[in-house]
Amino acid sequence: MSPIQLRASHMLRSLLKKSRVLSCLLVMMGCHLEPTARADEASQEKSMKTEPMKIALIVGSVRPTGTADKIVNNLKRVLDARTDIQTELLFVRDYALPFYTDIIPPAERTEPIADPVLKKWSDAVQRADGYIIVSPEYNAGYPASLKNALDSLYKEWNYKPVAFVGYSGGPSGGTSSIAQLHQVAQALKLIPIAVDVKIPQSWKAFTSTGDLGIFPTVQQELNHVVDLLLVAHHAPQSR
């Protein structure tokens, strides 16, 4: 190895823990990785390959209409077919979260959460590596129940990737509610990915057995969304 290559190797070694791309570059430059760097890279690759990403599928609708359930059943069919992720279903309606009234904003929370319901919600959100949020459209927005569930926490969301699935009675598939969710996600320091899944005309979107008429499209789009969530999850992070 030439002195320049040796120097480059040393400088980049510390960065290797954070970047697989750099290790590829080093190899392309003809630099030999030192054993510790190789071990770091190998263990990083191993964990990327062996540990499925934990994705929480968060369902914002709390109405007992059955629409959200049918949507979720279709989404779960796609998600459960993958071995690179593990999906946990979180229905906001199961948490009966109180409207957020604490004086201290969640971003400034330093004490453990006292409210048992909020604590349960916090734990569920915390243990996920990323999220797919499913939301109906109400009056060109998303439900207040979902906003309250999002606002009740802060650090639990930070720096994790998120994607959105919208549905609506009209033809937009929840375009407005998804656009608003993108803005809110940024404020929560989530990492919203650029691809959304939209299901229009929810009142006639299902067959008699509950399958989405546009299942093949949703399947393709959702798999793309998951691929992007995985890329964001495995990307090196700087905070």
Ligand X SMILES: Cc1cc2nc3c(=O)[nH]c(=O)nc-3n(C[C@H](O)[C@H](O)[C@H](O)COP(=O)(O)O)c2cc1C
136 binds ligand X (CB under 6 A): yes
Contact 134, 71 (CB under 8 A): yes
| Candidate residues 202, 225, 226, 232; the one interacting with ligand X per rule CB under 6 A | 202
How far apart CA 56 and CA 230 sit, in angstroms, is 13
74 binding ligand X? (CB under 6 A): no
Nearer to ligand X, 110 or 139 (CB): 139
Contact 154, 71 (CB under 8 A): no
Is residue 73 within the footprint of ligand X (CB under 6 A)? no
Q: Which runs of consecutive H residues, i.e. helices, occur in 29-156?
A: 35-50, 67-80, 116-126, 144-151
Shortest distance, position 214 Cβ to ligand X, whole Å: 14
Please state at what angle helix 67-80 crosses helix 215-234, rounded to 10 degrees. Answer: 60
The answer to the question of residue 138 lying near ligand X (CB under 6 A) is: yes
Q: Between 68 and 149, name the residue whose CB sits nearer to ligand X.
A: 68
CA dihedral 54, 56, 57, 63 (to 10 degrees): 160
Residue 169 touching ligand X (CB under 6 A): yes
Among 83, 101, 139, 209, binds ligand X (CB under 6 A): 139
52 or 169: CB nearest ligand X: 169
How big is the site for ligand X, counted in residues (CB under 6 A)?
A: 16
Cβ proximity to ligand X: between 60 and 161 the closer is: 60
Would you count residue 166 as binding ligand X (CB under 6 A)?
A: no
Q: Cα(178)–Cα(191) distance, rounded to whole angstroms?
A: 14
Contact between 167 and ligand X per CB under 6 A: yes
Alpha carbon distance 9, 5 (integer Å):
6
| Minimum separation from the CB atom of position 206 to ligand X (A) | 10
Residues 6+ apart with CB under 8 A from 141: 176, 177, 180
Q: Which of 31, 55, 58, 68 binds ligand X (CB under 6 A)?
A: 68
Nearer to ligand X, 167 or 232 (CB): 167
**113 or 140: whose CB is closer to ligand X?**
140
- Residue 23, class by beta-carbon neighbours within 10 Å (0-12 exposed, 13-18 middle, 19+ buried)? buried
Interface with ligand X, residue 137, by CB under 6 A: yes
Beta carbon nearer to ligand X, 157 or 167: 167
* Rg, C-alpha atoms of the chain: 21
| Binding footprint of ligand X on the chain (CB under 6 A) | 61, 63, 65, 67-68, 136-140, 167-170, 172, 202
